[in-house]
């Protein structure tokens, strides 16, 4: 990996799960004082919400927890595969859509599911999409994304220490 690790979080529309993960990861690296080590973005596999702000329900839940985030939805493009060191999908459908853009096994290896890093997740566990449900679903997603991003950052920091020791 390069000195600065570039990460793109990806969901379907880039208005709920991936912007939350982007905002959460940014806040975690800020709190740990390692902002200079990470470049973070998010995108959606679809173009449905391009230019829109994150979903108001997720913004409300995040705000209740002290996390404010903004930005505008964008679509993931094939050239993003080369631009990022790590691409984190919210579910297997998003991952499969991203894999379809890859031209090599090396590119496919950059793509992971966020819940691979969740102590309560698993290798194929999705971050559920709360879009069509109630506010409880947004709270659940907030908790899942928080612990998954914390664990992802722990792993990246551990890996960077190993690289520095070599």
Examine the pLDDT at 166 and tell me if it is beyond 60.
no
Mean pLDDT of 108-135: 95
Max Cα–Cα distance, the chain, nearest Å: 49
Confidence of residue 3 (pLDDT cuts 50, 70, 90): confident
Annotated catalytic residue, options 8, 17, 41, 149: 17
Active-site residue flag, 17: yes
Annotated catalytic residue, options 11, 41, 57, 74: 11
Q: Which residues pair with 44 in a beta bridge?
A: 11, 75
Asked if 80 contacts 110 with a C-beta cutoff of 8 angstroms, the reply is: no
Residue given tokens 């994150």 in the structure block: 54
Closest CA to 8 of 33, 34, 37, 44: 44
Give the integer Cα–Cα distance in Å for 76 and 22.
14
Examine the pLDDT at 13 and tell me if it is beyond 50.
yes
CATH architecture designation of domain 5-161: 3-Layer(aba) Sandwich (3.40)
Active-site residue flag, 8: no
Mean pLDDT of 64-89: 94
pLDDT tens sequence across 79-92: 999 999 999 999 99
Active-site residue flag, 129: yes
Confidence of residue 164 (pLDDT cuts 50, 70, 90): low
Give the integer Cα–Cα distance in Å for 118 and 149.
8
Q: Which two tokens stand for residue 104?
A: 């090599």
Examine the pLDDT at 156 and tell me if it is beyond 90.
yes
Q: Which residues pair with 9 in a beta bridge?
A: 42, 88
Confidence of residue 161 (pLDDT cuts 50, 70, 90): confident
Confidence of residue 109 (pLDDT cuts 50, 70, 90): very high
Give the residue extent of every domain in the chain.
Answer: 5-161
Confidence of residue 162 (pLDDT cuts 50, 70, 90): low
pLDDT at position 1 = 44
Burial of 110 (0-12, 13-18, 19+ CB in 10 A): middle
Annotated catalytic residue, options 55, 97, 129, 149: 129
pLDDT at position 125 = 96
Neighbouring residues of 139: CB distance < 8 A, sequence distance ≥ 6: 61
């Amino acid at each position: 990996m390069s000195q600065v690790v570039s990460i793109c979080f990806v969901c379907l529309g880039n208005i709920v799960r991936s912007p939350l993960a982007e905002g959460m990861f940014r806040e975690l690296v800020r709190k740990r004082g390692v902002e200079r080590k990470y470049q973070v973005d998010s995108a959606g596999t679809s173009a449905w919400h391009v230019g829109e702000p994150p979903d108001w329900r997720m913004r409300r839940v995040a705000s209740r927890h002290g996390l404010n985030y903004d930005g505008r939805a964008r679509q993931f493009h094939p050239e993003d595969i080369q631009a990022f060191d790590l691409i984190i999908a919210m579910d297997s459908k998003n991952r499969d859509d991203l894999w379809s853009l890859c031209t090599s096994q090396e590119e496919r290896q950059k793509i992971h599911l966020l819940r691979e890093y969740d102590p309560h997740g698993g290798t194929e566990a999705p971050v559920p999409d709360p879009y069509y449900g109630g506010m409880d679903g947004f709270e659940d997603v907030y908790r899942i994304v928080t612990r998954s991003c914390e664990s992802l950052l722990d792993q990246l920091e551990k890996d960077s220490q190993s690289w520095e020791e070599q």
